[in-house]
Chains A and B, each alone.
Chain A
């Protein structure tokens, strides 16, 4: 019964979203459906928090590999939750100077703001910066000329790399910009690779994706594919 209800809700919400894209009086309905999803997601966040505590407490109690990280995770979670909920270090709003903690929880100077700015932002930036090293190692592997396709990829990447740096301009700068051979300058070759070859391939992929999204959505809305909710077979 609960599964049938889920299918009905999916059908109604899906049809609403499609119809609201084409019929003006129903445009607000689609937005309402999206709002309902946000409310559901917010409620489900409690489930997530409970699961987080359960998983990490279990790791700590059984001394699993990396249990120390679990302890740090739970401590960070508890501290952030506490300073946010109890508005630690929040100053009064200028309009209500006599009301303690009347400012926003994330107002500058509050404990929550401090945690976000000096802990979360720094850690996030650190993780993101790792990407530079991973790009280098992946590129090294991908550009090894072991067959014709890989060689073509290597040559194209080399041209684009040169075309986007000053080195490319210097190397082919002797070709007059207004001559018939100007297309051989690295910066022009790089633009051609992007705008013609890469763009054409990208559009072909996007058309396939659009059709895949339409067919998948139709299967889900009509309840033909229910495996994502555990009733596919």
Chain B
């Protein structure tokens, strides 16, 4: 490995020697090192980014132009009204947890987006929603989102900013508080929407023990089994990010969902093509250079 300083002229001298001791050497012409403009090895990633962005933006434009996209029913999201309605009938609160991460996490933002939709439903039903959070910035953003929901539902007077409040940044301190809150107030519906870690099962099992309807959504794959085991409905991965579009039904949101699906179809096609080419190559037994084919597909997926 040779390291060079920018703008300084350098030349490399190479020497080779065979088994008999005969050798040859040579020097390259002097050249100045220059830092490359693009980060190397990320070409495929950039290509995918452009393709996905184009799919999403074109789909949004089509939706704005009036094209209607069909969305398959997602049980967890269809149950939102049922859960809030049950809480209203029982006179118990609705609990919403937007994960335990800060506003720089896309799952927290997705969670707050769902909060704004759930908040509108609770405002419509005149139910009480409580949102304990573990980050100060999430508290301020959550208040804005919920306040706008109550305004959109035509009940701005019913909104109290203390419905969204800060507990602690400490993971298990927050878990202890929320578990205690559940046992004391017995919310009829619990929503867990955001990024969770070890506390996921503690929260979901506590919610289960008090008989609450529980709907969870996360992109944290290691926590999905716990939510599936303990909650009534779980939004798995992409469903969590599709929730906002599903609940709002706005053309822009539906368009982005369509773009996401087109991207997924393309990724699937590349995967199938790769599998077919590698399988055929292996069956052909040496007729195809599998190494180069494999490297091509690896570069295509950014590996």
Contacts and interface: CB of A to CB of B under 8 A. Distances in A.
A48 B230 CA distance: 31
Nearest to B55: A215
Nearest to A25: B37
Interface string B166-177: 111111110110
Interface string B255-266: 011011001100
Most buried by A among B146, B226, B237, B264: B237
23 contacts: A21-B39, A24-B35, A41-B135, A47-B136, A47-B140, A51-B166, A52-B166, A65-B184, A124-B172, A127-B176, A130-B202, A134-B202, A205-B237, A207-B264, A215-B56, A216-B106, A216-B244, A217-B106, A219-B252, A224-B252, A227-B148, A230-B144, A230-B145
B279 interface: no
Contact of A213 (B53, B144, B219): B219
Q: How many interface residues does chain B have, given as a range? A: 35 or more
**Nearest 9 CB-CB pairs, A to B?**
A212-B241, A48-B136, A230-B148, A208-B238, A230-B144, A127-B172, A44-B136, A142-B229, A48-B166
B113 interface: yes
A121 B109 CA distance: 30
A233 B151 CA distance: 10
Chain A facing B: main interface SS: helix
Contacts of A22: 38-39, 42, 45-46
A137 interface: yes
A212 B184 contact: no
Most buried by A among B185, B224, B238: B238
Nearest to A136: B205
A51 B252 CA distance: 36
A135 to B, nearest CB: 6
Contact of A24 (B36, B141, B145): B36
B74 interface: no
Contacts of B135: 41, 44, 48
Contacts of A69: 180
B205 A215 contact: no
Interface of A: 18, 21-25, 27, 34, 37, 40-41, 44-48, 51-52, 54-55, 58, 65-66, 69, 120, 123-124, 127-128, 130-131, 134-135, 137-139, 141-142, 202, 205-209, 211-220, 224-225, 227-233
Nearest to B175: A127
B252 A208 contact: no
Given A51-B166, A215-B52, A205 B39 contact: no
Interface in B136-195: 136-137, 139-141, 144-149, 152, 162, 165-173, 175-176, 180, 184-185
Given A138-B226, A211-B238, A225 B260 contact: no
B240 interface: yes
Given A227-B244, A232-B113, A44 B260 contact: no
B49 interface: yes
A219 B256 contact: yes
B207 to A, nearest CB: 11
Given A130-B202, A139-B229, A24 B37 contact: yes
Contacts of A211: 52, 238, 260, 263-264, 267
Contacts of A120: 170
A18 B56 contact: no
Most buried by A among B135, B146, B166: B166
A128 B38 contact: no
Contact of B221 (A23, A52, A131, A202): A202
B111 to A, nearest CB: 8
Interface string B233-272: 0001110111010001010110011011001100100000
B155 to A, nearest CB: 14
A78 B260 CA distance: 49
Interface in B193-221: 198, 201-202, 204-205, 208, 219, 221
Nearest to B98: A228
B52 to A, nearest CB: 5
B116 interface: yes
A142 B224 CA distance: 13
B278 interface: no
A65 B205 CA distance: 22
Interface string B277-303: 000000000000000000000000000
B258 to A, nearest CB: 10
B224 A205 contact: yes
B104 interface: yes
B83 interface: no
B230 A231 contact: no
B221 A205 contact: yes
A216 B241 contact: yes
Contacts of B109: 216, 220, 228
A53 to B, nearest CB: 10
B117 interface: yes
